Amino acid sequence: MKPSLRVLAGVVVLVAPLALTAPAQAANTLTMRGADVSSLHRSLDLGARYHDASGAPADPYDILASKGVNYLRLRIWNNPASGYNNKATVLQQARTIKAKGFKLLIDFHYSDTWADPGKQYPPAAWANHSLSQLQTDVYNYTYDVCTALKAQGTTPDAVQIGNEINVGMLWPSGQVVNNNFAPLASLLKQGYRATKACHGGTQVWIHTANADSNANARWFYDGIRAQGVTWDVTALSYYCMWHGTLANLYNVIADVKSRYGKPVVIAETAYPFTTADADHQPNVISGTARCDNIPATWSGQAQQFSWVQNTARNAGAVGVFYWEPTWYAVRGNGWDPADINGTGNGWDNMAVFDWSGRVNPHLYWTP
């Protein structure tokens, strides 16, 4: 899974000279330089403090802006036990985000808790609904959240209809079984319709964690396209420890951009700055298995993120989002929304702020 420096260098050396010699207007840039800050509201409510690279206290949103971030992402859960990341708290955080001048991406999980490739469970209120009912649910819920955001002057610039829906969402009704994409497609179409009915200019993203291979990406996006699904941006997750080499990432981005004719964004990526653990919750990614032989240090984290941005840019992507850079270990801001006080943070070694809240001085989002 891990690329050699020789292979990686081959990609960079092959592509970078073209960017240097091409006309300035032809050079690809990352216009969406994003961060998922879904846990930040809770951290701040608990008294978390953030510091710039010099160690001076500062507003975390201002720190991210100074690092080059121009787009923020918020997940939304229907009725989470913790209350955080529900409609009310998303509306509140959206006001702060827009007031700070960021663009806003809303990530619909269509669940009361985490939805990802391994779990896509309906919210409890929809648990016994038929596929037909779920289509109505998706439309109404998407439209309701979008119009509530619009009404307070924080119209989302983009929404995701589902989160990492590699094999569907709202299981079992919307799960892709035996290559049958029709049920999932019927749900995605309702999400698209609701978003455009709310605001025609809001982009609709379809997000999978299929940066691992062209075969998986084509299987999914070919499948929904064949069912008549429309979307505006193809969004992928890329974590090097799970999704392979940067050379492979380059190939997948280039392929899906060409194949579907839509902008491509890396909606999630991250890298550890330490192998240590700040709390009693085991780290999701230990950091002991290196990618590209890069150590789990502040400099290493910055280097890997820079290489991901370079790869995405050279392959023709328009954006890269870091997942939960502000989620350092704060007691009471746990991993499990059903036990937010009792669980720890499995991402404390992946944030770009250390355990005292100081930002990585080496890491930047770059156009």
pLDDT at 27: 58
* Paired tokens of 40: 């930040």
Strand-strand pairing, 103-108 and 32-36: unpaired
At 225-239, the pLDDT tens digits run 999 999 999 999 999
Contact by Cβ (8 Å): 103, 163: no
CA distance 185 to 180: 9
At 265-301, the pLDDT tens digits run 999 999 999 999 999 999 999 989 899 999 999 999 9
pTM (two decimals): 0.93
Cite the active site residues. Answer: 164, 268
Q: Distance of alpha carbon 224 from its chain centroid, rounded?
A: 20
CA distance 114 to 167: 15
Please write down the long-range contacts of 48-57, taking CB distance under 8 Å and 24 or more positions apart. 48/328, 48/330, 48/333, 48/357, 49/356, 49/357, 50/326, 50/353, 50/357, 50/358, 50/359, 51/353, 51/356, 51/357, 51/358, 51/359, 52/358, 52/359, 53/358, 53/359, 53/360, 53/361, 55/358
Element (H, E) at 206: strand 203-208
Angle at 344 between CA 340 and CA 347, to 5 degrees: 110
Q: What does the DSSP assignment read for 98-119?
A: HHTT-EEEEEE--SSS--BTTB
Full pLDDT tens readout for the chain, 367 residues:
322 222 332 233 233 322 322 233 345 899 999 999 999 999 999 999 999 999 999 999 999 999 999 999 999 999 999 999 999 999 999 999 999 999 999 999 999 999 999 999 999 999 999 999 999 999 999 999 999 999 999 999 999 999 999 999 999 999 999 999 999 999 999 999 999 999 999 999 999 999 999 999 999 999 999 999 999 999 999 999 999 999 999 999 999 999 999 999 999 999 999 999 999 999 999 989 899 999 999 999 999 999 999 999 999 999 999 999 999 999 999 999 999 999 999 999 999 999 999 999 999 999 9
